[in-house]
Structure 1
Amino acid sequence: MPHATRPGDLLGDRYRLVDLLTESGGGRFWRAHDRILERHVAVHVIAAGDERAPALMAAARRSATVHDRRMLRVLDAEVTDEVCYVVNEWGWGTSLDIVVTGTGPLGPRRAAWLVAEVADSLALAHGSGVAHGRLNPENVLIDRAGGIRIIGLCVDAALHGVTGVASERAIETDVEDLAGLLYCAITTKWAGPSRSIVAAAPRVNGEVLRPRQVRAGVPRPLDALCDDVLHHTAAGDRHREIGDLELSARGIEEFLSEFVGDGTGMPEALLAATPDVLPDEEQVVLPPVPELRPHLADEPPAPPEPVETRTVVAGLPVVAPTPASDEPRGRGEPDGVVEDRPTEAGVPIFGDDDDVSWLQRRTTPAPPPPPFVDPPERPLFAPTPADGEPVRTPRAGTRPSGPGQEFWPWDTGTGAPVTTGTTLATVEEEPVPGRTFLRLATIIAAVVLLVLAVVVAVNLGRGKNVLGGEPDPAPSPSASTTSGSARPAGAVLGGLTATGFDPQGASDDDGAENDSAAPNAVDGDPGTTWTTLTYNDQLGPPPGLKTGVGLLVDLGGERAVTDVELTFDGAPTAVSLYLSDGVPEGVADLDPVAEGTAEAARLSLPTAARGAGVRGTHLVVWLTALPRVDGRFRGSVAEVVVRGG
């Protein structure tokens, strides 16, 4: 490409190329500088003879018809003899692919808010019949304020040769890419139809795995949204989990906005999850300030020369030096008579006639400071008395004298001895009031504790309790053996299997409802659930579609059931339990062994004959009333625990 190959080249006498960001397929993406508006812009450049040039110009015209603050706008487009280029608004920020690669997946609410913002902007474009065409993580930017900016509307698809696609199909691709963006934000994998540098989502039998199968902890609504949109081509062959979802950008935006709720503070939260790779603002570099040197106003600055050293005080006028005398001076002879001045500076000059001789450098060196005198050593111990003399305690008012005088702690430091003329008499220590009683109480308490410890040790050694009484009788071994030989009433039954049970359903669903998820109710994990279909009316008599629906639990043979504990994901839920000696065709001919309504997540139902337990081979968990979900009705069973023998 002979055109625009170097930084500094000028396009249209206005846009100066600064940095080459990417280059692929004969096209180049530059950061440029707009010389008229003094701002950064993004420029896509291809050769004028490139077969993509007409499509690129048409894409620029379509993109310019969409006005939204989240879209990086097309500012200019032109075809010259050598190049075809499109100028876009420049955005500072970090693209989604860098965010998920640098910091991992986003939180569910942050991811949902980000995709909702993109979907809201695309809904405006789709309303005008304009599709992005290549909505991948590289084209979604998180700016410095935490807002969302969309890169390359129409233009990026044209540069990558994505042309000739019908408008309806391009909009459908955008909708699938929106689900792919949500998938990428919560799993760090890309599942959309457009190409991306992000690692592709795993597939099984040609279908993308659900987000919950790739990463644990994904909320069920986001998992269902990705699954329904990415697999919408099979909507006629299987049940869609979100029945009222509109497969459009506006439908996705409304669904995610409802999931997020109040979006206050979401830009700041999203910005906190963005890696710190944003470029800093360009700093203005000022030329160095020349060093200020004192000089006369009528003389130009000159190179420094060896001159006589003088002290100059900042803020005072500079006085010309006194001409030197023609008479030679002896070595070390002072320049003149130097008087003992009390100060060298500090007095301001108010007139030209003032004497400024005190400004001259003092030629007489200052006298050295007096030498430091080491303090006398202090003895570690009192002087040892001579043999045969008593040990004396130093008294106040005395000091040693005579030759060999040493430091004495009662010295006043003034040189005058302390002579009080009195001698302190020996003072006897007075007893502290209450000290004798405290010592006596401590001794008595220690004796009492010792006696108690001995008594406890003796009682325990004699086989009695701490207080000396007879110990409680131990439980009878025979009773324990008897109770242990029979299976306890609360033993949890294992080896259970579950299937959907819908005898009142349509004739083509084999009497089962959502049968593939039924094993989740007996897998021991409350985090996995079996859910019913979503009904417009409550179960029961008309207008209810059916009187009930539920699960059929195979007990693995004839078993006695004493108690059933149910865990629901939603309340209130009314339930009835039935036991049968085979696979029942319905519940009309069966008698319930327990009934109840779960007002919370857990419900424990004892059977009618709890003592011995009712027996059967199959347990029917029959839901007769479902909780309300988004204005309709849907039941969800997280776990079924059966106890018996």
Structure 2
Amino acid sequence: MQGIGEDTVLADRYTLTRMLAQRDDQELWIAFDSTLDREVTATVFRATSAHADAALDSARRAAGVEDHHLPRVLDVGVQDGTAYVITEALHGAESMASLLQFDRLPAEEVRRLIGEAASGLGAAAARGLHHLRLTPHDIVRSPDGAVSVLGLPTDAALAGTDDVSSDEASRIDTVALVEIAYAGLTSRWPGDEPVPGLLDAERRADGELPAPSELAPGVPGDLDTLCRTTLGADEGPRTPGELARQLAPWSSERVSDSGRRPSRPASAGPAAALQSVPGGAPSATRMPGRPALAKAPDDRENTDAATDSRATAPVPQADHDADETAQISRSVLDAARERTARPPAAHDDDYDPSFTELEPPVPGLTGRFEPDRSSSKLALLLVALLVLVAVVFAFIGLRGIGGGSDKAAAGATSQSASPSASASASRSASPSSSPSPSATPIDITYVGYYGTGSSENPQMMRNVIDGDPSTYWQSFRYGSAALGGVKSGTGLLLNLGSSQKVGSIKITTTGGPSTINFYVTDEVGPVSTKQPAATLTGSGTQTATLNDATGKYITVWVTQLSQQDTGEYRERINEIQVLS
């Protein structure tokens, strides 16, 4: 978009730092709010476009919808022909489209994601707001498992598709949610318009869309029926609120494997039912859940509070349908045991596909839940051997104390005889171990992520300049020191505010040795074709001499990761100080 780029400042407050996505009619940026010292998301578009006024009005109405599934609208305005909508940033969130790059999702995680999204869109529908352009890219999951829906304030208005009736708009959003559920269950997109990053579902010879159960095993009966009736017969729920009630109950936490649908014992009362309703037991960063309300009338009339963000989807009081999965059979138990012997199918927020689970810690033990009698005896024997070895080494160490003290005394005498020579040798061995006494700190105005793919733990980046060595930023974990072979490096981008001469940089890391390259530039760009100003290959606190290199940005580029005490490979940076 003309006139918009990196370092553009909107409303004398929001500095655009990194573009996330671009369409013909809008751009999505990460921006820095200098007033509140935090990152935000900025949607910008031309104020002269045909639908700009409608989009701004829609964004202002969206600001009045208080629902934790919808990113809060913080500011709306126009500056120099550019319209902008500022919303809260969702650090580390991944879209369903991104999650489906690896494999299809567990069925109960699909139920949870779509149910949470439907609850948010139901709350918006009660205020007359509809999405109308919903795809798997618009439903995102944060590292804590929270679900958010993107694009509600502006997407429909900018596309000029917001002139349909309320009933029709609710049906469009509901069908889109079911299409996304189909994609989550099968990793195939059933819609007419292709979605970037997803394969299209191939129709049968009769032209009908195959049911999810025909493409993937283990699809619950109710989800299979929902997709068949909604996408194949134009039946099923008509509004997001109806869809949320039909999907409930779902897990209150992220389902990371082939988890089961939450069920309620027949003897449990209403209090037990609240444990698995939407919004239950949310993370600390989200709004606390409220008790479930009694079932309300159809929300197509928008006359009840069932779609209000303060209410959660009701728990059906009837018995579960025929696909009840609460009982664990022998075959399920055997399958669970088999899963313990192979890498997990679902990844946590910082899981890298090249990472391989470690072998069992005690040789001879299998992946069963409980060791048998022979395995227990083997483990006890190994423990006894370890204790015996420890006792032998302790005895040898005690014998060496007397002789060692004499050698230490002689060494101390020799050391005191030539202190100046020792000090001189120390300085010549590590010329960059400490900065010049005249060096002064240079302020770092902003710390951002540098690298390919999704930003790695951006909420931790400012820890490297907070002056507290007990805090840190850490990368994702990888399968090897060379980042598992999936990328060439990862790191941080330091913004000094203006072009300055840099004498040295002091960095403190945790873990084993790593390789860190430093680049000083006036523009942000690829470093693969540049020579680093300095390179460090150690650990702990180190100082790199940059020889008065001049630039506005310092790229801290890690090409070999530290191995932490836990055995995992990830870089952990505690503090960074730039000196003149």
Where on the TM-score scale, by shorter chain, does this alignment land: which range? 0.3 to 0.5
Looking at CA atoms only, which structure, 1 or 2, has the larger radius of gyration?
1
TM (norm. structure 2) is 0.44
Richer in helix (by share): 2
TM (norm. structure 1) is 0.40
Which of 1 and 2 has higher RCO (CA within 8 Å, sep 6+)?
Answer: 2
